[in-house]
Amino acid sequence: MRQESWLDGDYLGNDKYVLSYYTNMGDTIDRWDPPKNSAIQIAAAITACSSIYMYPYISRDDCYYTDTDSVVLGKPLPEEVVSSSIIGKFKLEARIKKGFFLAPKSYYYSSKDKGDVIKYKGAAKEHVDAEWFETQYKHPENIVQREFVSNFRVNVKKLSVYKRKGKVTVALALNNKRMLLHIGGKWIGRRK
């Protein structure tokens, strides 16, 4: 390894080191790849530990929604597990008055603290509102086409800026690894 590509190193013990360095340090800039610093085993351990920690909360009967680092519950958590400043405890983000949690990263809620909050993963996020979530809750199979205008699109190859018009599909992503179960007009859970 060339010395100028080396960034940093730490001794771990037993003749083991962690090194950071640039890769592909060629003479031409078009061959250079950015450094790839990753420790997959540490990321896997953190994810596994957080899943174990979250399980008692996400398995509760009053759990309406969960994601990697969050949970929406119908009843409050005990005070000893809630703090806005202590790492490892839950932070109370909002007290929800009304909400629709339809799919991963697709929800709407109204809260006393933050007002209306909408999350919708995808290109159609500007086309969803509280009414759309309520309609989708009643009819999750609904698919709507909406027109959009993008005023600032860049074509790097031609070095041009242009306006783009088109259509976008607004629907729930029901064909994913967490299949939602909607039977007889009622949400009954999910199949993993």
99-108, 126-135, 150-159, 180-189: range with lowest mean pLDDT? 180-189
pLDDT in tens, 26-61: 555 555 565 567 778 888 998 899 889 899 999 999
**Measured distance CA(115)–CA(132) in Å, rounded:** 17
Q: Which amino acid is at 102?
A: L
Q: Is 7 helix (H, G, I), strand (E, B) or coil?
A: strand
The pLDDT mean for the chain works out to 79
Could you tell me if 21 and 7 are in contact, meaning their C-beta atoms sit under 8 angstroms apart?
A: yes
Q: Is the pLDDT of residue 118 over 70?
A: yes
pLDDT at position 76: 92
pTM above 0.75, yes or no: no
Q: Is the pLDDT of residue 188 over 90?
A: no
Buried b (16+ CB within 10 A) or exposed e, 133-158: beebbeeeeeeeeeeeeeeeeeeeee
36-50, 120-134, 153-167: range with lowest mean pLDDT? 153-167
